[in-house]
Each structure stands twice: as structure tokens, then as C-alpha cells.
């Protein structure tokens, strides 16, 4: 029997994740009253149900009764009704953006600013995050990326590694990315900007990519970054870090940084470690 409690921050994608779990064979129930959770678990484990995979969505909408959930979970464990907790999170900036786009009202904001409601929710949900078996930060995840992670965990049975790695190319002339964790400067590489036929192209185009990658320094540099990240990533996970932003910068963010970020993304994905995403922040600014 596989019993998943799906929870997390409002706006982090719980409803979407429930639909995805349903697609891979889970019986999904959302926002069940806390007082019924134990009875529901008893029924699921009694063998009278047809489904052997169950996902139960719980969030802050349970109100004051949410505080009773810990006692319910303790009683379930005592009866041998084992469960896993999947906690979806996102940074405050992303949650605010999603709420504004959807024009929804935060359940704990009341008449206060949205960030106040988000802060209250973090406090209320912290005990579930502390006990979570899986924590997925959806701040930079596309829907397909979230689906891929859920399939790996609950369908393919792969070990879960809770780290989302964003590879971001940028131009120094436009400033450093605000959320950068690691920054690599590739302005020492030959610059396609000064080659007439390459200037209008970008690092996504084969001629520019070949020009950048043909430099012996490029392969050495990328190899060192990959080695460094393979050393760092499991240590970030061990310290509880869920999100890593690796930035690669050149002057304008169109040629060298794009080509290197593309290759770095390709090589890291081939390692099979963690979840990777590629973003070219300033690619369109130099047109």
C-alpha cells in the first residue's frame, strides 16, 4: 500500500500535482477534513478498497483543525498505516506572482498584504515540511518538469534527490541575476560578437556554438564546472538546499554564455542527477 500525503504552500502546485498522481494510478482526494483522515486511512489499509496507491491532499484550508493532524499521523503510524509526505514549496516572489496572475485571495491574508498571509502559512505548515519525505521547490519548474519528477519518484521508483538546478546564461552589462548562487564568467573565451557573420546569431546557433566550443579552453572550463557541481550538489542536498541557480555570464548574454550554458546543461542532464532547467535571461536583449 502506498499512501501519500500531498501538502505544501498555496500556489506551489498541489492541485496540479494531484492531477498528475491521478494520471499515474493514484486514487486522489483533496482537502478532506482532518477529522476524517484517520478513518479514510483505515479504509484504505483495510483491503476493502480497490486501489493500492492513494494520495491525500491537505493544506492550510483545514483551518484550526490542521493542528490536529500530527496526532492523527502518529496514530496511523502506531497502527502500521505507513505514509509518505510530499511537500511542494516555492519562494515568496514566485507565490506572489502566481497569486497576482490568478487573482486569487490568499486564505490567510485577510485584509493584510499578500506576503503577510504567505508568512502565516509558512508558520502553520512548517511541521509538515519538517517531516516531509520529499520536498519539491516548484519556483523554477515547468509543468513538464514537475510531472517528470513525480513519475521518477512514484512510478519509476528512483531515489529522490531534492534539488532543482537552474542553469542561467546572462550578460554582465545587464547586471547579475538576483537569485544567483554560483556565477561563472566566460568573458575570457573568444568572442563571436567580433566575427561579422556570427554577430547576428546566438549561442543556440550551430556556427556560434562551434566557434565557442572549438577553443581548447572551453572544454577544460566546462569540465571543471561539471566536476565542481558534482562535488557540491549532494552536499547542498545534505544541508537541505532545494534550489541551486548556476549562472554563466558574458558581456551581452547572447553568444558565449549561451553556448556554454547549453553545453553545461547537456552534460549535467546526462549524469542523471537531480532536476535541471535551462534559461537564457538576456538572449533577446541583444537583437
pLDDT at 7 over 90: yes
Whether pTM > 0.75 for this model: the answer is no
Residues 6+ apart with CB under 8 A from 257: 169, 170, 171, 186, 203, 248, 249, 250
Residues 6+ apart with CB under 8 A from 26: 2, 4, 51, 53, 54, 55, 154
**Long-range Cβ contact pairs of 35-43 (< 8 A, separation 24 or more):** 35/65, 35/68, 37/69, 37/72, 38/72, 38/75, 38/76, 41/3, 41/76, 41/81, 41/83, 42/79, 42/81
Name the segment(s) of the chain with CATH classification 3.40.50.300.
2-154
Rounded mean pLDDT, 43-49: 74
**pLDDT for the residue 107:** 86
Q: Measured on CA atoms in the order 138, 144, 149, 151, is the torsion positive or negative? A: positive
| Confidence band, pLDDT 50/70/90 cuts, at residue 61 | confident
Would you state the cell numbers that stand for residue 201, as one nine-digit string?
546569431
pLDDT at 208 over 70: yes
pLDDT at 257 over 90: yes
Rounded mean pLDDT, 177-198: 95
Q: What is the pLDDT of residues 131-183, one digit of tens each?
A: 888 888 888 788 888 888 888 888 876 556 567 889 999 999 999 998 899 99
**pLDDT for the residue 1:** 83
**CA dist., res. 145 & res. 153, Å (int):** 13
| Confidence band, pLDDT 50/70/90 cuts, at residue 186 | very high
Q: Which of 27-36, 38-47, 140-149 has the highest mean pLDDT?
A: 27-36
Rounded mean pLDDT, 195-217: 95
Please determine, looking at this structure, whether the domain spanning 2-154 carries the CATH number 1.10.1060.10: no
Amino acid at each position: 500500500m502506498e499512501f501519500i500525503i500531498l501538502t505544501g504552500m498555496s500556489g506551489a502546485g498541489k492541485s496540479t500535482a494531484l492531477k498528475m498522481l491521478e494520471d499515474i494510478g493514484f486514487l486522489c482526494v483533496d482537502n478532506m477534513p482532518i477529522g476524517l483522515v484517520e478513518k479514510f486511512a483505515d479504509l484504505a489499509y483495510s483491503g476493502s478498497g480497490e486501489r493500492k496507491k492513494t494520495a491525500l491532499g491537505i493544506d492550510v484550508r483545514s483551518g484550526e483543525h490542521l493542528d490536529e493532524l500530527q496526532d492523527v499521523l502518529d496514530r496511523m503510524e502506531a497502527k502500521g498505516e505507513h505514509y509518505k509526505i510530499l511537500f511542494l514549496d516555492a519562494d515568496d516572489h514566485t507565490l506572489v506572482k502566481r497569486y497576482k496572475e490568478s487573482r486569487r485571495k490568499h486564505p490567510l491574508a485577510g485584509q493584510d498584504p499578500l506576503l503577510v498571509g504567505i508568512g502565516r502559512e509558512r508558520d502553520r505548515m512548517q511541521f509538515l515540511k519538517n517531516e516531509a519525505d520529499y520536498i519539491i521547490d516548484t519556483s523554477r519548474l515547468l509543468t513538464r518538469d514537475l510531472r517528470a519528477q513525480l513519475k521518477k519518484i512514484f512510478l519509476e521508483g528512483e531515489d529522490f534527490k531534492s534539488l532543482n538546478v537552474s542553469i542561467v546564461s546572462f550578460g554582465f552589462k545587464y547586471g547579475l541575476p538576483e537569485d544567483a548562487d554560483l556565477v561563472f564568467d566566460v568573458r575570457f573565451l573568444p568572442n563571436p560578437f567580433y566575427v561579422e557573420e556570427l554577430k547576428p546569431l546566438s549561442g543556440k546557433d550551430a556556427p556560434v556554438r562551434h566557434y565557442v566550443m572549438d577553443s581548447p579552453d572551453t572544454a577544460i572550463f566546462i569540465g571543471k564546472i561539471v566536476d565542481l557541481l558534482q562535488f557540491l550538489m549532494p552536499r547542498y542536498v545534505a544541508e537541505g538546499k532545494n534550489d541551486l541557480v548556476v549562472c554563466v555570464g558574458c558581456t551581452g548574454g547572447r553568444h558565449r554564455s549561451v553556448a556554454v550554458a547549453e553545453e553545461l546543461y547537456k552534460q549535467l542532464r546526462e549524469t542523471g542527477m537531480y532536476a535541471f532547467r535551462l534559461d537564457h535571461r538576456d538572449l533577446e536583449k541583444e537583437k
